[in-house]
Amino acid sequence: MAKLLVIAEHRDGKLSEATLELCRIAKEVAPGLGLEPAAAVFAKDDALAKEVANYIPVVFSVADAAVEGYTADGYAQAVKAVVESQDVKGVLVPHTYDGVDYAAKAAMAIDAGIVSNCNKAEVEGGKLVLTRNIFNGKIQEKKSIKTDKFVVSFEKGAYDPAEAGAAGAVTAVSVSFGPIRTKVKEVIETATGGVDISQARIIVAGGRGLKDGDKFKEVVLPLAQKLGGEYGGSRPVIDSGWIEASRQIGQSGKTVTPDLYLAVGISGAVQHVAGMKGSKCIVAINKDPEAPIFNIATYGIVGDLFEVLPAFSAKL
């Protein structure tokens, strides 16, 4: 039977959570598409392939020094080789930093259409229908793929990870790699030093809605102090240099799970939510009633944060 193939993601010998999420998606939609769920692991040996086999029945292992570390050229070539030799129809890739780097290249290599950054996969009339966010999550769209082969990438955290089951079979696939044009020198920590906000019990986080760095400091910092908590920010706040990088919350920053997370002037982009959705109680204050942050908050106030926050602070 033709395969629906998950491409595993790993770093420092550890599988990513996104890999297991893809295994769940593959097992859910493969039967309706007349496909068999499978995965491919590209690594220096087959240790991780054996681990993935606990989550999906068929695993192809490309164990080669060329894919010991991630590169777009290495991964695109490995995807092409496995797709062509193992009767693969569809490829599932995580929409993570590495996934974004190679998914479209892999699609080009196998002449497949790609729908990226999806959050839902459904089978309708034997066809795969994908749902994804557009316009910053204010709108969603449904898409399908017309080509014989297809590539789909999924937002991290859109599905729960697959549960482990009976061990599947691992098959070695050898690939003759061509040139790899990029060279990884090292992986470095960028937000070193600074305060560790990940242990704070209360966090006041500000976003673009604070307008500028001075207002951020005027409004957010005293409130965090009064509540005995820490302050942090969403990506635009760090990009604009209003506060230091060690206080960034979200996919590219810290993951936090405080008892109280006060999100002020934060719209709630998926990348931000990934870093704070585990908080016990989330309060959102935003002037836009359609801001996605209200969909995950416990309490919300729709209004001007420059009016609401001073009032809130005074009542504490």
Partner 1 sequence: MKIVVCLKQVPDMESKFKIVDDKKVDESQIAFKINDFDNYAVEAALQLKEKLGGEVVIVSAGPDRAAKDIRQAFAMGADWGIHISDQAILDGDSFVVASALAKAIEGIGGVDLVMTGVQTEDLQAGVTGVMIADMLNMPHCTNVVKIDTADGKAFTLNRELEGGLNEVMELGGPAVLTVQSGINDPRYPTLPGIMKAKKKQLDVKSGADLGVNAASKTEFIKMFIPVADSMAEIIQGAPEEAAGKLVDKLKNEAKVI
Cβ-based nearer residue to partner 1, 32 or 113: 113
Q: Is 7 in the site for partner 1 (CB under 8 A)?
A: no
Q: Tell me how far apart the alpha carbons of residues 165 and 117 are, in angstroms, rounded to a whole number.
A: 28
Tell me if residue 276 falls in helix, strand or coil: coil
Indicate the burial class of 2 (C-beta count within 10 angstroms; 0-12, 13-18, 19 or more). middle
Site for partner 1 in 106-145 (CB under 8 A): 107-109, 112-117, 129, 132-145
Site for partner 1 in 287-306 (CB under 8 A): 288, 292, 294-304
Cβ-based nearer residue to partner 1, 35 or 262: 262
| N-to-C CA span, the chain | 64
Q: Tokens 């990088």 belong to which residue?
A: 245
x/- binding map, residues 195-224, to partner 1, per CB under 8 A?
-------x----------------------
Which listed residue (41, 238, 249, 273) binds partner 1 by CB under 8 A? 238
Cβ-based nearer residue to partner 1, 38 or 237: 237
Joined tokens for residue 9: 């993601």
Give the closest residue to 76 by CA, choosing from 191, 179, 154. Answer: 179
Q: How far is the CB of 103 from partner 1 (least distance, A)?
A: 7
Q: Which H or E element spans position 58?
A: strand 58-63
Joined tokens for residue 53: 């086999």
Cβ-based nearer residue to partner 1, 214 or 307: 307
Site for partner 1 in 54-113 (CB under 8 A): 72-73, 95-98, 100-105, 107-109, 112-113
Q: Is 12 left (phi over 0), alpha (psi -120 to 50) or beta?
A: left
Region of 24-32, 45-53, 162-170, 251-259 interacting with partner 1 (CB under 8 A)? 251-259
Cβ-based nearer residue to partner 1, 30 or 72: 72
Q: Tell me how far apart the alpha carbons of residues 91 and 72 are, in angstroms, rounded to a whole number.
A: 16
Query: Torsion angle of alpha carbons 188, 96, 106, 24, nearest 10°?
Result: 130
Joined tokens for residue 91: 């490829």
Q: How far is the CB of 51 from partner 1 (least distance, A)?
A: 20
Which listed residue (50, 252, 257, 277) binds partner 1 by CB under 8 A? 252
Region of 24-32, 59-67, 168-176, 179-187 interacting with partner 1 (CB under 8 A)? 179-187
